[in-house]
Structure 1
Amino acid sequence: MALLTSGINPGQLSEVSTAYAALHSSSLQQSDFPYFHVRNAGNKGLGCFAARQILPGTLVHQEAPLFIVYEIGDEDPSRAIHDEISVEVNNLSVQNRAAYMQLVVPGQVRILRNNFVSQVFNANSFETMEHPDRRTTDQGIFLMAARFNHSCVPNAYFQYNPRIGQLTIFAISRIEKDDEILVNYKYEDIYKSRDERRQNLQRGYHFTCECPACHDGPYHDESERLRSLMAVLDTQDQQRLGNSTERRQRKDRLIALLGTAGCPYPQTAHLYKQLAEDYLGEMNLLGAGYSGNITECRQKAQTAARGKLMVEILAIGPNTEEIDKSLDLIAEAGYHGRFG
């Protein structure tokens, strides 16, 4: 499959190409056969395993939704949503309905026997749109994507791309042949402890995570130390403690720790964005006559914006709104150079 870059401003394509070169990858990756095959993954049921070595930034899978249920509340779906899910499932072809009902591992059958149809949806759906003002989300079923299992230290990242109407899964680290391709179902829990992560996964997906970060051992111990430290730094960052230099240094440290923890997106992209905007704000002050080195500030703003572009290229690909915003941020930092 090829990654489309046709929507990118030709004058900004070099930035995307440079990012791919840094990943030792390409925006025009193609394969004559699938990057993965589905097979038994033990007590996890079925899983997706690499059919070849996969480089970071590779589009492993993309898929249109089988169906989408709109405006689902933050809490457990209401009776009306249960009914809507049932209607959608009943409208499927016999083959697709059977495939939908098989999106569950044997150990979950007893747990899901009440409201089985809607509970299968809850445990296998992917968010396609968020409506923060109404505290609701749209969620869809993707039959193949649902076969990718979870890890708190994933080697791939999933996200629905409204621009192409498909869910994409990109490799975020090198995946060797026969390795299982794993995504993080709860990437927002990156700073939480093992017990908190397991509790949230059990509540939403009805399994106990046994990934390297959760299974007892040296890796788990180091993971807990890293996540505890990141949680402290994130809290300090949210509270904007310290002066501007200290806040920037804290963001830089968090970015480095997220990389060490194997979770480069989306938290890292957000931190890079904040850094770039911080430097842009300082450049405005310098342009208005404040003392300081505007050339150095511009370079740091562009470096941060390019860092954001890099992790987005890695995790969500070039044909996204996020990439457009990163390219505009890079250009804005260069434009501010007129003050220099």
Structure 2
Amino acid sequence: MQSLNSGSMYALKDVLGKGKGIVAIENISKGTRILSEEPVITTPEYQQDDEWLKSHLSQQVDVLSEPQRQSFLSLHNLYPFQNIVEQSLGIIRTNALPIEADGIGGGIFLEASRINHACDNNAQKAWNQCIKRHTVHALRDIAKGEEITIYYLGLDSSREVRQKKLEDKFGFLCSCRLCSLTTELSQKNDEMLERIDYLDDLIGRDGMQMKFFLRTLRYVDERVRLYNEQGPGNSGLPRAYLDAAQIAIANGDLARGRIFAERAVEGWRIANGSDSKEVIRHGSLARNPATLPLYGLSMKWKTSLNEVPQELDLDDFEDWLWRRGKSNKLGQSGLLTDLHNREIFPGFTALPSSNPLDMKFYEVVDGTYQPLRHWCFLGEITDYTTLHHLELELTDIDEKKIPLHFYTDSRGSELVPAQIQKGYTVAVLYAQRRAFTYGDPGIRHEDPQKLKNVPWMQKEWRVLESMREVLVVLVL
């Protein structure tokens, strides 16, 4: 085993099936900067012709010290060569790492360039523009004797795509944990990656249109969950948390916005270091989310920085943070949902339109429209008529009066008079606003098979303070 740097936490060692690799010689904690290295050779950002490039590289190789030259020439080379100039060019093409600097596209790092690839990498490579060095950080705890690995490719892809890219560009087939999964598990993992890409597209689409809806936060929530299922320390997490922060802040929610921003910054600190441009750029957002230009685009989720619930367990805190809301459950313990939650129980004006259908609330699945989330309209019966059909006059949480028209085959006579009482509450699941030819906008119900009558006990199930007695009609 060869220690590359005196006092370093890693060494060059033979790795089964990979040749040489970088192996931890001590336990390395998550977030540790494993190395910080300047390039010994650089290549231009825009490729010149081979003769120019050979001359450019030769000049740099000639000024290397003898130990540097030997270390450089010992790097893996996928390309045939007849002289040292061609050998140098092949080594560059095989081992160069990206550099984000003016006019420079890539470079050779005598230590970082020896780190092998794994699709489930435990370390993150990055060019740190602030310090002009290539850095590698531990994405999770790395045990003594464990190989340190990075991810050679750009975006995450299916196993088949990854294997082809790695073989075409680097001349090997990956045998990491992800690439060694059974066919069934590998297919499941590929489906998760495909879903992540799809969610990313949906989030980006909403962002480009300056639409920061609860459904968009739902996309990010699912994306984070899928990242975590991939394994700890996924490099996509910070960007996802920043998306969540922007959605929350755009809706006036400083409490959640700061927490999401703090998580994004911490993710970048772990992967890239405290001196990275991502941490420096977004650190101020984590300290003061109101500095985001999008702040106040809407104030419907308005909170102050200090409006963070205390004494919640981890699961309940995450539910609060992501504005998930629990589903309704009737039973011995009562109703679990907060019936004053405006996201789940909106007023009439916040309902989706039925004509045209408001696609902020729906997605198309197998040719049918499916709700993206759950919502239920609640209204107190204040009056009713049965002239041509049953029409209930309802008052919503905003004290707005709304008609509910029954256009079932029996025109609403499915409900017996005892079930229609002033002061009772009507609950309409997935209610939509509808314009009528005559009269005010309201809600229309057509399917008697989706009509349920559920008696609730007054003392346990008070929905709103103004509702005296409750008999709920669920339109599913």
The 1-side partners of 2:57 and 2:181 are apart by 38
Tell me the residue number matched to 1:55: 29
Matched with 1:101 is 73
Q: Is 1:227 aligned to residue 232 of structure 2?
A: no
1:243, CA displacement in angstroms?
A: 7.0
Q: What are the within-5 Å matches in structure 2 for residues 32-47 of structure 1? A: 33-47=7-21
Report SS of the residue matched to 1:239: helix
Q: Which consecutive unaligned segments of at least 5 residues does structure 2 have?
A: 1-5, 296-303, 308-476
Q: What one-letter code is carried by the residue in structure 2 that aligns with 1:229?
A: R
Task: Output aligned runs, 1:101-120, within 5 Å.
Answer: 101-104=73-76, 108=78, 111-113=79-81, 115-120=86-91
Cα separation, 2, equivalents of 1:196 and 1:87: 37
Shift in Å, 1:159: 0.9
User: Which of 122, 144, 147 does residue 93 from structure 2 map onto?
Assistant: 122
CA distance in 1, matches of 2:160, 2:214: 34
More deviation, 270-279/141-150:
270-279
Counterpart CA distance in 1 for 2:206 and 2:168 is: 32
Q: In structure 1, what is the equivalent of residue 372 of structure 2?
A: none
User: AA paired with 1:303?
Assistant: I
Higher mean displacement: 230-239 or 303-312: 230-239
Between Structure 1 and Structure 2, the one with more helix by share is 1
Equivalent residue for 1:152?
119
Among 165, 171, 189, the residue aligned to 1:200: 165
Q: 1:259 aligns to what?
A: 228
- Cα separation, partners in 2 of 1:162 and 1:265, compared to 1, 3 Å: farther
Alpha-carbon contact 1:123-1:206 (below 8 Å) kept: no
Distance in 2 separating the partners of 1:50 and 1:94: 27
TM-score (norm 2): 0.54
Q: Does 1:83 align with 2:51?
A: no
Query: 1:232-311 counterparts in 2 under 5 A?
Result: 232-240=198-206, 244-262=213-231, 264=233, 266-283=235-252, 297-311=253-267
Offset at residue 138 of structure 1 (A): 2.0
Which structure 2 residues correspond to residues 56-71 of structure 1 after superposition, within 5 A? 56-71=30-45
In 2: Cα distance, 1:90 partner to 1:43 partner: 33
SS at match of 1:138: strand
Task: Summarize the Cα distance change of 1:88–1:203 in structure 2 as closer, same or farther, 3 Å threshold.
Answer: farther
Residues in 1 aligned to 2:29 and 2:68: alpha-carbon distance in whole angstroms: 32
Residue 36 of structure 1: CA displacement? 1.4
Aligned residue identity for 1:272 = Y
- Return closer, same or farther for 1:159/1:35 CA change in 2, 3 Å cut-off: same
Whole-angstrom CA distance in 2 between matches of 1:248 and 1:78: 48
Q: Deviations over 1:146-174 (max 9, x none)?
A: 11110011111111212222211111111
Higher relative contact order (CA 8 A, sep 6+): 1
1:194 and 1:214 in contact (8 A); partners too: yes
Distance 2:115 2:32 in 1: 16
- Which has more strand, going by share of residues? 2
For normalisation by structure 1, the TM-score amounts to 0.74
- Residue 202 of structure 1 aligns to a residue whose secondary structure is helix
Which AA in structure 1 matches 2:38?
Answer: A
Once the two structures are aligned, what percentage of the paired residues are identical? 20
Call closer, same or farther: CA 1:215–1:60 in 2, change over 3 Å: same
CA-atom RMSD in angstroms: 2.7
Superposed CA deviations along residues 54-81 of structure 1, whole A, max 9, x for unmatched, are 11111111212112223234xxx63233
Q: Cα offset for 1:193?
A: 0.8
Query: Are 1:153 and 1:263, in contact at CA under 8 Å, matched by a contact in 2?
Result: no
* 161-170 or 257-266: bigger deviation: 257-266
- What is aligned with 2:140? 173
Give yes or no for contact 1:171–1:314 (8 Å, CA) kept in 2. Answer: yes
CA distance in 2, matches of 1:219, 1:60: 32
> Are 1:92 and 2:59 counterparts?
no
Amino acid at match of 1:113: F
